[in-house]
Chain A
Amino acid sequence: MSAPQNLLYSKDHEWLTTDGNPAVIGISQHAADALGDVVFVQLPEVGARVTAGEPCGELESTKSVSDIFAPADGEVVEVNTAVVDDPSLVNSDPFGEGWLIKVQLDTPAADVDGLMSEAEYNAFTGA
Protein backbone atom coordinates (compact mmCIF):
# COMPACT_ATOMS: atom_id res chain seq x y z
CA MET A 1 0.00 0.00 0.00
CA SER A 2 1.33 3.45 -0.82
CA ALA A 3 0.99 6.16 1.77
CA PRO A 4 -1.26 9.15 1.15
CA GLN A 5 0.49 12.36 0.10
CA ASN A 6 1.25 15.26 2.42
CA LEU A 7 1.82 13.30 5.61
CA LEU A 8 4.58 13.96 8.08
CA TYR A 9 6.09 11.23 10.24
CA SER A 10 7.59 11.07 13.72
CA LYS A 11 10.54 8.93 14.72
CA ASP A 12 8.04 6.99 16.86
CA HIS A 13 6.30 5.89 13.62
CA GLU A 14 3.20 8.05 13.89
CA TRP A 15 1.93 10.01 10.89
CA LEU A 16 -0.11 13.21 10.87
CA THR A 17 -1.90 15.13 8.17
CA THR A 18 -0.69 18.56 7.15
CA ASP A 19 -3.70 19.83 5.19
CA GLY A 20 -5.53 21.52 8.00
CA ASN A 21 -5.89 21.76 11.76
CA PRO A 22 -7.07 19.60 13.55
CA ALA A 23 -4.66 17.01 12.17
CA VAL A 24 -5.45 13.32 11.80
CA ILE A 25 -2.93 11.00 13.49
CA GLY A 26 -2.22 7.31 13.01
CA ILE A 27 0.64 4.83 12.88
CA SER A 28 2.65 4.02 9.78
CA GLN A 29 2.36 0.89 7.66
CA HIS A 30 5.91 0.08 8.76
CA ALA A 31 4.85 0.21 12.41
CA ALA A 32 1.66 -1.77 11.80
CA ASP A 33 3.63 -4.49 10.02
CA ALA A 34 6.19 -4.62 12.81
CA LEU A 35 3.55 -4.91 15.54
CA GLY A 36 1.72 -7.86 14.05
CA ASP A 37 -2.00 -8.25 14.65
CA VAL A 38 -3.29 -5.40 16.82
CA VAL A 39 -5.95 -6.71 19.23
CA PHE A 40 -6.60 -3.74 21.51
CA VAL A 41 -6.37 0.00 21.04
CA GLN A 42 -6.47 2.37 24.00
CA LEU A 43 -6.89 5.99 22.96
CA PRO A 44 -6.89 9.22 24.99
CA GLU A 45 -10.16 10.95 25.91
CA VAL A 46 -11.54 13.75 23.79
CA GLY A 47 -10.31 16.96 25.40
CA ALA A 48 -7.06 15.45 26.65
CA ARG A 49 -3.83 17.35 26.12
CA VAL A 50 -1.12 15.46 24.26
CA THR A 51 2.57 16.34 24.18
CA ALA A 52 5.01 15.60 21.38
CA GLY A 53 7.03 12.48 22.12
CA GLU A 54 4.88 11.52 25.13
CA PRO A 55 2.65 8.40 25.26
CA CYS A 56 -1.06 9.10 24.74
CA GLY A 57 -2.38 5.56 24.26
CA GLU A 58 -1.52 1.89 23.81
CA LEU A 59 -1.59 -0.68 21.05
CA GLU A 60 -1.71 -4.31 22.19
CA SER A 61 -0.63 -6.87 19.63
CA THR A 62 -0.14 -10.59 19.95
CA LYS A 63 3.49 -10.27 20.92
CA SER A 64 3.79 -6.94 22.63
CA VAL A 65 2.28 -3.71 23.85
CA SER A 66 3.41 -0.41 22.36
CA ASP A 67 2.79 3.18 23.33
CA ILE A 68 1.13 5.56 20.93
CA PHE A 69 3.29 8.67 21.00
CA ALA A 70 1.84 12.03 20.16
CA PRO A 71 3.77 13.49 17.20
CA ALA A 72 2.97 17.09 18.22
CA ASP A 73 1.47 19.16 21.04
CA GLY A 74 -2.26 19.78 21.05
CA GLU A 75 -5.72 18.80 22.26
CA VAL A 76 -7.60 15.66 21.25
CA VAL A 77 -10.83 16.66 19.47
CA GLU A 78 -11.95 13.26 18.18
CA VAL A 79 -11.01 9.59 18.61
CA ASN A 80 -11.65 6.79 16.11
CA THR A 81 -14.21 4.59 17.88
CA ALA A 82 -14.27 2.24 14.86
CA VAL A 83 -10.65 1.27 15.48
CA VAL A 84 -11.41 0.66 19.16
CA ASP A 85 -14.23 -1.69 18.12
CA ASP A 86 -12.12 -3.35 15.40
CA PRO A 87 -8.39 -3.00 16.13
CA SER A 88 -7.53 -4.99 12.99
CA LEU A 89 -8.18 -1.78 11.04
CA VAL A 90 -4.76 -0.62 12.23
CA ASN A 91 -3.22 -3.51 10.29
CA SER A 92 -5.48 -3.49 7.25
CA ASP A 93 -5.67 0.27 6.63
CA PRO A 94 -3.27 2.23 8.87
CA PHE A 95 -3.44 5.36 6.70
CA GLY A 96 -7.22 5.24 6.26
CA GLU A 97 -9.87 3.58 8.41
CA GLY A 98 -7.19 2.71 10.95
CA TRP A 99 -6.53 6.34 11.93
CA LEU A 100 -6.39 6.89 15.69
CA ILE A 101 -7.07 10.47 16.85
CA LYS A 102 -7.65 14.01 15.63
CA VAL A 103 -5.70 16.69 17.43
CA GLN A 104 -6.06 20.48 17.38
CA LEU A 105 -2.37 21.30 17.07
CA ASP A 106 -0.81 24.19 19.00
CA THR A 107 1.33 24.94 15.95
CA PRO A 108 0.66 23.88 12.35
CA ALA A 109 2.19 20.50 11.55
CA ALA A 110 4.58 22.01 9.01
CA ASP A 111 6.14 24.08 11.82
CA VAL A 112 6.57 21.21 14.31
CA ASP A 113 10.20 20.30 14.92
CA GLY A 114 11.51 16.80 14.29
CA LEU A 115 8.93 15.52 11.85
CA MET A 116 9.98 13.79 8.64
CA SER A 117 8.70 13.77 5.09
CA GLU A 118 7.72 10.43 3.57
CA ALA A 119 11.09 10.20 1.82
CA GLU A 120 12.92 11.01 5.04
CA TYR A 121 10.80 8.51 6.98
CA ASN A 122 11.44 5.78 4.41
CA ALA A 123 15.16 6.44 4.74
CA PHE A 124 14.78 6.37 8.55
CA THR A 125 13.09 2.95 8.47
CA GLY A 126 15.34 1.59 5.75
CA ALA A 127 12.35 1.02 3.48
Chain B
Amino acid sequence: MTSTEERRTPLDAVHDALGATMTDFAGWRMPLRYGSETAEHRAVREAAGLFDLTHMGEITVTGPEAARALDHALVGFVSKIGVDRARYSMICDADGGILDDLIVYRLGEDDFLVVANASNAAVVAGELLARAAGFDAVVTDRSEEYALLAVQGPHAVAILAPLADLDLDKVKYYAADRATVAGVDVLLARTGYTGEDGFELFCAPADAVRLWTSLAEAGAGHGLIPAGLSCRDTLRLEAGMPLYGHELTTSVTPYEANLGRVVRLDKPEDFVGRDALAAREKEGPRATLVGLRSPGRRVPRAGYAVLDPETKAPIGEITSGAPSPTLGAPIAMAYVPLDRAEPGTVLAVDIRGAAEPVEVVALPFYKRA
Protein backbone atom coordinates (compact mmCIF):
# COMPACT_ATOMS: atom_id res chain seq x y z
CA MET B 1 0.00 0.00 0.00
CA THR B 2 1.42 3.39 -0.95
CA SER B 3 1.33 6.45 1.24
CA THR B 4 -1.43 7.98 -0.87
CA GLU B 5 -3.65 5.10 0.19
CA GLU B 6 -2.60 5.32 3.84
CA ARG B 7 -5.53 4.62 6.13
CA ARG B 8 -6.33 7.19 8.78
CA THR B 9 -8.00 6.53 12.10
CA PRO B 10 -10.90 8.75 13.22
CA LEU B 11 -8.39 10.33 15.65
CA ASP B 12 -6.00 11.45 12.91
CA ALA B 13 -6.70 15.18 13.37
CA VAL B 14 -6.42 14.78 17.16
CA HIS B 15 -2.93 13.31 16.79
CA ASP B 16 -1.89 16.12 14.47
CA ALA B 17 -3.25 18.73 16.88
CA LEU B 18 -1.19 17.09 19.65
CA GLY B 19 1.93 17.41 17.49
CA ALA B 20 2.44 13.66 17.18
CA THR B 21 5.22 12.19 15.08
CA MET B 22 3.25 9.96 12.75
CA THR B 23 4.43 6.75 11.13
CA ASP B 24 3.17 4.24 8.62
CA PHE B 25 2.24 1.03 10.39
CA ALA B 26 0.78 -1.77 8.28
CA GLY B 27 -0.70 0.78 5.90
CA TRP B 28 -2.13 2.97 8.67
CA ARG B 29 -1.01 6.50 9.59
CA MET B 30 -0.42 6.02 13.32
CA PRO B 31 1.11 8.08 16.15
CA LEU B 32 4.68 6.96 16.88
CA ARG B 33 5.10 9.38 19.79
CA TYR B 34 3.66 12.69 20.91
CA GLY B 35 6.76 13.96 22.71
CA SER B 36 9.38 11.84 24.44
CA GLU B 37 8.66 8.14 24.01
CA THR B 38 10.58 7.48 27.24
CA ALA B 39 8.25 9.83 29.12
CA GLU B 40 5.26 8.04 27.56
CA HIS B 41 6.70 4.68 28.60
CA ARG B 42 7.18 5.88 32.18
CA ALA B 43 3.67 7.38 32.30
CA VAL B 44 2.19 3.97 31.46
CA ARG B 45 4.34 2.25 34.11
CA GLU B 46 3.65 4.86 36.81
CA ALA B 47 0.30 6.48 35.92
CA ALA B 48 -1.50 5.87 32.62
CA GLY B 49 -1.23 6.23 28.87
CA LEU B 50 -3.95 6.73 26.25
CA PHE B 51 -3.46 4.85 22.99
CA ASP B 52 -5.16 4.85 19.59
CA LEU B 53 -5.11 1.23 18.41
CA THR B 54 -7.68 1.54 15.65
CA HIS B 55 -5.32 -0.22 13.25
CA MET B 56 -6.06 -3.55 14.93
CA GLY B 57 -8.37 -5.85 12.95
CA GLU B 58 -11.78 -6.87 14.30
CA ILE B 59 -13.50 -9.95 12.89
CA THR B 60 -16.75 -11.34 14.22
CA VAL B 61 -17.72 -15.00 14.11
CA THR B 62 -21.37 -15.63 14.93
CA GLY B 63 -23.91 -18.41 14.66
CA PRO B 64 -24.89 -21.71 16.27
CA GLU B 65 -21.55 -23.33 15.36
CA ALA B 66 -19.35 -20.25 15.84
CA ALA B 67 -17.50 -21.85 18.77
CA ARG B 68 -16.89 -25.08 16.86
CA ALA B 69 -15.74 -23.15 13.80
CA LEU B 70 -13.18 -21.29 15.93
CA ASP B 71 -12.10 -24.52 17.62
CA HIS B 72 -11.33 -25.75 14.12
CA ALA B 73 -9.69 -22.53 12.92
CA LEU B 74 -7.55 -21.66 15.95
CA VAL B 75 -5.20 -23.64 18.18
CA GLY B 76 -7.10 -22.74 21.37
CA PHE B 77 -10.12 -24.36 23.00
CA VAL B 78 -12.50 -21.55 22.09
CA SER B 79 -15.71 -23.34 23.07
CA LYS B 80 -14.40 -23.42 26.66
CA ILE B 81 -14.23 -19.62 26.86
CA GLY B 82 -16.96 -18.29 29.13
CA VAL B 83 -19.33 -15.58 27.94
CA ASP B 84 -17.80 -12.12 28.57
CA ARG B 85 -14.32 -13.62 28.84
CA ALA B 86 -11.34 -13.30 26.52
CA ARG B 87 -8.48 -15.63 25.63
CA TYR B 88 -5.11 -15.16 23.96
CA SER B 89 -4.82 -17.56 21.02
CA MET B 90 -3.15 -18.17 17.70
CA ILE B 91 -4.04 -19.14 14.17
CA CYS B 92 -1.51 -21.50 12.58
CA ASP B 93 -1.03 -22.90 9.11
CA ALA B 94 -1.14 -26.62 8.34
CA ASP B 95 2.59 -26.88 9.12
CA GLY B 96 2.06 -25.36 12.55
CA GLY B 97 3.65 -22.03 11.57
CA ILE B 98 2.06 -19.02 13.25
CA LEU B 99 -0.14 -16.88 10.97
CA ASP B 100 -1.08 -14.48 13.75
CA ASP B 101 -1.64 -14.15 17.46
CA LEU B 102 -5.08 -13.04 18.47
CA ILE B 103 -7.39 -12.20 21.30
CA VAL B 104 -10.76 -13.95 21.14
CA TYR B 105 -13.62 -12.32 23.05
CA ARG B 106 -16.78 -14.33 23.68
CA LEU B 107 -19.49 -11.69 23.68
CA GLY B 108 -22.36 -14.19 23.74
CA GLU B 109 -22.96 -17.92 23.48
CA ASP B 110 -22.78 -17.70 19.67
CA ASP B 111 -21.02 -14.36 19.29
CA PHE B 112 -17.24 -13.99 19.12
CA LEU B 113 -14.95 -11.07 18.36
CA VAL B 114 -11.47 -11.96 17.08
CA VAL B 115 -8.89 -9.15 17.30
CA ALA B 116 -5.98 -9.58 14.91
CA ASN B 117 -2.82 -7.61 14.27
CA ALA B 118 -3.18 -4.84 11.70
CA SER B 119 -0.58 -6.40 9.42
CA ASN B 120 -2.46 -9.71 9.41
CA ALA B 121 -6.08 -8.61 9.61
CA ALA B 122 -6.87 -9.45 6.00
CA VAL B 123 -5.08 -12.81 6.18
CA VAL B 124 -6.88 -13.75 9.38
CA ALA B 125 -10.28 -12.70 8.03
CA GLY B 126 -9.67 -14.73 4.89
CA GLU B 127 -8.48 -17.80 6.79
CA LEU B 128 -11.37 -17.65 9.25
CA LEU B 129 -13.82 -17.39 6.35
CA ALA B 130 -12.25 -20.39 4.62
CA ARG B 131 -11.95 -22.47 7.77
CA ALA B 132 -15.54 -21.75 8.86
CA ALA B 133 -16.88 -23.27 5.64
CA GLY B 134 -19.09 -26.22 6.53
CA PHE B 135 -19.95 -24.81 9.94
CA ASP B 136 -23.14 -22.92 10.69
CA ALA B 137 -21.24 -19.71 11.40
CA VAL B 138 -20.83 -16.32 9.76
CA VAL B 139 -17.41 -14.63 9.57
CA THR B 140 -17.41 -10.86 9.02
CA ASP B 141 -14.46 -8.49 8.84
CA ARG B 142 -15.68 -5.53 10.89
CA SER B 143 -12.39 -3.63 11.10
CA GLU B 144 -14.02 -0.58 9.49
CA GLU B 145 -16.75 -0.53 12.12
CA TYR B 146 -14.52 -0.19 15.16
CA ALA B 147 -12.18 2.34 16.60
CA LEU B 148 -10.03 1.02 19.44
CA LEU B 149 -8.70 3.11 22.30
CA ALA B 150 -6.71 1.83 25.26
CA VAL B 151 -6.11 3.21 28.73
CA GLN B 152 -3.13 1.39 30.21
CA GLY B 153 -1.39 1.85 33.52
CA PRO B 154 -1.90 1.61 37.28
CA HIS B 155 -4.27 4.60 37.29
CA ALA B 156 -6.54 3.16 34.56
CA VAL B 157 -9.25 2.09 37.00
CA ALA B 158 -9.31 5.45 38.78
CA ILE B 159 -9.62 7.26 35.45
CA LEU B 160 -12.34 5.05 33.98
CA ALA B 161 -14.45 4.35 37.07
CA PRO B 162 -16.21 7.76 37.18
CA LEU B 163 -16.92 7.57 33.43
CA ALA B 164 -18.18 3.99 33.20
CA ASP B 165 -21.71 2.80 33.92
CA LEU B 166 -20.53 -0.49 35.41
CA ASP B 167 -18.43 -1.63 38.34
CA LEU B 168 -14.90 -2.08 36.97
CA ASP B 169 -14.08 -4.57 39.74
CA LYS B 170 -16.49 -6.94 37.98
CA VAL B 171 -14.46 -6.71 34.75
CA LYS B 172 -11.66 -9.13 35.56
CA TYR B 173 -8.36 -9.45 33.70
CA TYR B 174 -9.11 -10.91 30.27
CA ALA B 175 -12.82 -10.20 30.61
CA ALA B 176 -14.99 -7.89 28.54
CA ASP B 177 -18.43 -6.34 28.83
CA ARG B 178 -20.62 -3.91 26.95
CA ALA B 179 -20.66 -0.59 28.75
CA THR B 180 -21.22 3.10 28.38
CA VAL B 181 -18.13 5.24 28.99
CA ALA B 182 -18.56 9.02 28.95
CA GLY B 183 -21.86 8.49 27.15
CA VAL B 184 -20.29 6.34 24.42
CA ASP B 185 -21.34 2.73 23.85
CA VAL B 186 -18.23 0.57 24.04
CA LEU B 187 -17.04 -2.95 24.42
CA LEU B 188 -14.86 -2.56 27.51
CA ALA B 189 -12.14 -5.20 27.77
CA ARG B 190 -9.58 -5.59 30.52
CA THR B 191 -6.79 -6.48 28.14
CA GLY B 192 -3.64 -4.82 26.92
CA TYR B 193 -0.14 -5.11 25.58
CA THR B 194 1.90 -3.16 28.08
CA GLY B 195 2.35 -5.38 31.13
CA GLU B 196 0.13 -3.04 33.15
CA ASP B 197 -3.46 -3.17 34.29
CA GLY B 198 -5.69 -1.41 31.80
CA PHE B 199 -8.58 -1.44 29.43
CA GLU B 200 -9.21 -1.54 25.72
CA LEU B 201 -12.34 0.23 24.50
CA PHE B 202 -13.93 -0.69 21.17
CA CYS B 203 -16.33 1.96 19.91
CA ALA B 204 -17.93 3.23 16.72
CA PRO B 205 -15.51 5.35 14.69
CA ALA B 206 -17.91 8.29 14.89
CA ASP B 207 -17.60 8.25 18.70
CA ALA B 208 -13.81 7.95 18.84
CA VAL B 209 -12.96 11.66 19.16
CA ARG B 210 -15.56 12.19 21.89
CA LEU B 211 -14.33 9.15 23.82
CA TRP B 212 -10.65 10.13 23.43
CA THR B 213 -11.37 13.68 24.61
CA SER B 214 -13.33 12.48 27.64
CA LEU B 215 -10.61 10.00 28.60
CA ALA B 216 -7.85 12.59 28.14
CA GLU B 217 -9.70 15.13 30.27
CA ALA B 218 -10.59 12.63 32.99
CA GLY B 219 -7.06 11.27 33.01
CA ALA B 220 -5.11 14.50 33.05
CA GLY B 221 -5.35 14.79 36.83
CA HIS B 222 -4.16 11.18 37.15
CA GLY B 223 -1.02 11.62 35.08
CA LEU B 224 -2.46 10.14 31.89
CA ILE B 225 -0.79 11.30 28.68
CA PRO B 226 -1.26 10.25 25.05
CA ALA B 227 1.10 7.39 24.23
CA GLY B 228 2.30 6.25 20.83
CA LEU B 229 3.35 3.01 19.18
CA SER B 230 7.03 3.58 20.05
CA CYS B 231 6.44 3.19 23.78
CA ARG B 232 3.93 0.42 23.17
CA ASP B 233 6.79 -1.58 21.66
CA THR B 234 9.18 -1.05 24.59
CA LEU B 235 6.36 -1.69 27.08
CA ARG B 236 5.45 -5.03 25.51
CA LEU B 237 9.11 -6.01 25.17
CA GLU B 238 9.75 -5.40 28.87
CA ALA B 239 6.63 -7.47 29.59
CA GLY B 240 8.06 -10.32 27.47
CA MET B 241 5.12 -10.20 25.07
CA PRO B 242 5.79 -11.37 21.51
CA LEU B 243 5.17 -9.20 18.45
CA TYR B 244 4.04 -10.70 15.19
CA GLY B 245 6.69 -10.36 12.49
CA HIS B 246 9.40 -10.40 15.17
CA GLU B 247 9.02 -13.23 17.71
CA LEU B 248 6.11 -14.81 15.84
CA THR B 249 6.30 -15.80 12.18
CA THR B 250 5.23 -18.65 9.95
CA SER B 251 8.73 -20.09 10.50
CA VAL B 252 8.04 -20.95 14.13
CA THR B 253 5.33 -22.82 15.98
CA PRO B 254 3.93 -21.75 19.35
CA TYR B 255 6.35 -24.23 20.99
CA GLU B 256 9.46 -22.36 19.87
CA ALA B 257 7.87 -19.16 21.19
CA ASN B 258 7.33 -20.73 24.63
CA LEU B 259 3.61 -20.44 24.05
CA GLY B 260 2.80 -24.15 23.72
CA ARG B 261 0.17 -23.64 26.41
CA VAL B 262 -2.11 -21.93 23.86
CA VAL B 263 -2.19 -25.12 21.74
CA ARG B 264 -4.99 -27.33 23.00
CA LEU B 265 -4.24 -30.75 21.57
CA ASP B 266 -6.83 -32.08 24.06
CA LYS B 267 -9.81 -30.43 22.37
CA PRO B 268 -12.17 -32.77 20.49
CA GLU B 269 -12.43 -30.66 17.34
CA ASP B 270 -9.82 -31.31 14.69
CA PHE B 271 -8.01 -28.06 13.88
CA VAL B 272 -5.75 -26.68 11.21
CA GLY B 273 -2.15 -27.50 12.08
CA ARG B 274 -3.04 -30.18 14.61
CA ASP B 275 -0.88 -33.00 13.21
CA ALA B 276 2.17 -30.80 12.76
CA LEU B 277 1.77 -29.25 16.19
CA ALA B 278 1.24 -32.63 17.88
CA ALA B 279 4.47 -33.85 16.25
CA ARG B 280 6.38 -30.73 17.30
CA GLU B 281 5.06 -31.03 20.85
CA LYS B 282 6.33 -34.63 20.93
CA GLU B 283 9.75 -34.01 19.39
CA GLY B 284 10.27 -30.73 21.19
CA PRO B 285 10.96 -27.24 19.86
CA ARG B 286 13.84 -26.67 17.44
CA ALA B 287 14.93 -23.47 19.12
CA THR B 288 13.54 -21.42 21.93
CA LEU B 289 12.75 -17.81 22.65
CA VAL B 290 14.83 -16.27 25.43
CA GLY B 291 15.34 -12.91 27.06
CA LEU B 292 18.76 -11.26 26.82
CA ARG B 293 20.18 -8.43 28.86
CA SER B 294 23.32 -6.53 28.00
CA PRO B 295 25.80 -5.29 30.58
CA GLY B 296 26.91 -2.64 28.09
CA ARG B 297 25.02 0.20 26.49
CA ARG B 298 24.94 -0.79 22.84
CA VAL B 299 21.57 -2.25 21.94
CA PRO B 300 21.03 -5.63 20.26
CA ARG B 301 18.48 -4.89 17.53
CA ALA B 302 16.11 -7.11 15.55
CA GLY B 303 18.00 -9.15 12.96
CA TYR B 304 21.40 -9.05 14.68
CA ALA B 305 23.10 -12.45 14.97
CA VAL B 306 23.48 -14.15 18.35
CA LEU B 307 26.95 -15.67 18.61
CA ASP B 308 28.73 -18.35 20.57
CA PRO B 309 30.85 -16.18 22.89
CA GLU B 310 33.95 -18.36 22.32
CA THR B 311 33.90 -19.30 18.66
CA LYS B 312 31.84 -16.27 17.53
CA ALA B 313 29.82 -18.66 15.37
CA PRO B 314 26.21 -17.58 14.79
CA ILE B 315 23.76 -19.62 16.86
CA GLY B 316 20.60 -17.54 16.75
CA GLU B 317 18.99 -14.21 15.92
CA ILE B 318 17.63 -11.23 17.82
CA THR B 319 13.89 -10.79 17.21
CA SER B 320 13.38 -7.53 19.14
CA GLY B 321 15.71 -5.30 21.10
CA ALA B 322 15.59 -1.88 22.71
CA PRO B 323 17.00 0.18 25.54
CA SER B 324 14.67 -0.63 28.45
CA PRO B 325 13.48 2.54 30.18
CA THR B 326 12.51 0.59 33.30
CA LEU B 327 15.67 -1.50 33.61
CA GLY B 328 18.03 1.15 32.31
CA ALA B 329 19.82 -1.43 30.17
CA PRO B 330 19.52 -2.85 26.67
CA ILE B 331 17.16 -5.83 26.50
CA ALA B 332 16.25 -8.18 23.69
CA MET B 333 14.49 -11.38 22.78
CA ALA B 334 16.12 -13.97 20.56
CA TYR B 335 15.75 -17.49 19.27
CA VAL B 336 18.64 -19.69 20.46
CA PRO B 337 19.36 -23.44 20.65
CA LEU B 338 17.72 -25.21 23.58
CA ASP B 339 21.06 -25.88 25.29
CA ARG B 340 21.84 -22.14 25.40
CA ALA B 341 18.56 -21.05 26.96
CA GLU B 342 19.28 -21.42 30.68
CA PRO B 343 19.16 -18.07 32.55
CA GLY B 344 22.70 -17.04 33.38
CA THR B 345 24.13 -18.38 30.12
CA VAL B 346 26.53 -15.89 28.56
CA LEU B 347 26.17 -15.37 24.82
CA ALA B 348 27.33 -12.67 22.44
CA VAL B 349 25.57 -10.50 19.88
CA ASP B 350 27.12 -9.17 16.70
CA ILE B 351 26.47 -5.46 17.14
CA ARG B 352 27.66 -3.90 13.91
CA GLY B 353 30.76 -6.04 13.69
CA ALA B 354 31.69 -6.27 17.37
CA ALA B 355 30.80 -9.31 19.53
CA GLU B 356 29.19 -7.75 22.60
CA PRO B 357 28.40 -10.00 25.60
CA VAL B 358 24.80 -10.59 26.70
CA GLU B 359 23.29 -12.77 29.40
CA VAL B 360 20.23 -14.98 29.11
CA VAL B 361 17.62 -13.85 31.64
CA ALA B 362 14.20 -15.15 32.56
CA LEU B 363 11.20 -13.56 30.85
CA PRO B 364 9.46 -11.25 31.45
CA PHE B 365 12.00 -8.51 32.05
CA TYR B 366 9.35 -6.59 33.96
CA LYS B 367 6.36 -7.78 35.97
CA ARG B 368 4.05 -5.34 37.68
CA ALA B 369 3.90 -5.49 41.47
Contact = CB atoms under 8 A, between A and B. Distances in A.
Most buried by B among A33, A42, A60: A60
Interface stretch (B190-198, B245-253, B296-304): B296-304
B362 interface: no
A37 B323 CA distance: 10
Contacts of B301: 64-65
Interface string B341-352: 000000000001
Interface stretch (B30-38, B81-89, B271-279, B281-289): B30-38
Contact of A91 (B21, B36, B297, B352): B36
B322 A62 contact: yes
Contacts, number: 41
A36 B299 CA distance: 15
B230 A62 contact: yes
Given A62-B37, A91-B36, A42 B298 contact: yes
A24 B148 CA distance: 48
B352 A62 contact: no
Given A58-B298, A65-B299, A65-B301, A37 B352 contact: no
A36 B32 CA distance: 10
Contact of B33 (A36, A40, A58): A36
Interface string A52-91: 0000001010111100000000000000000000000001
A42 B296 CA distance: 12
A31 interface: no
Contacts of A63: 37, 230, 322
Interface in B44-85: none
Interface string B227-244: 000100010000000000
Most buried by B among A58, A62, A65: A62
B230 A60 contact: no
Nearest to A92: B36
A65 B297 CA distance: 11
B38 A37 contact: yes
A29 to B, nearest CB: 14
A40 B299 contact: yes
Given A36-B230, A39-B323, A60 B298 contact: yes
Interface in A6-33: 33
B365 to A, nearest CB: 15
Nearest to B228: A36
Contacts of A37: 36-38
A62 B298 contact: no
A37 B297 CA distance: 14
Interface string B135-161: 000000000000000000000000000
Contacts of A33: 21
Most buried by A among B21, B37, B322, B323: B323
A65 B36 CA distance: 17
Nearest to A64: B301
B298 A40 contact: yes
Contact of A65 (B32, B234, B352): B352
Contacts of A64: 301
Q: Which 4 pairs show the lowest CB-CB distances between chains A and B?
A: A39-B323, A40-B297, A37-B38, A62-B37
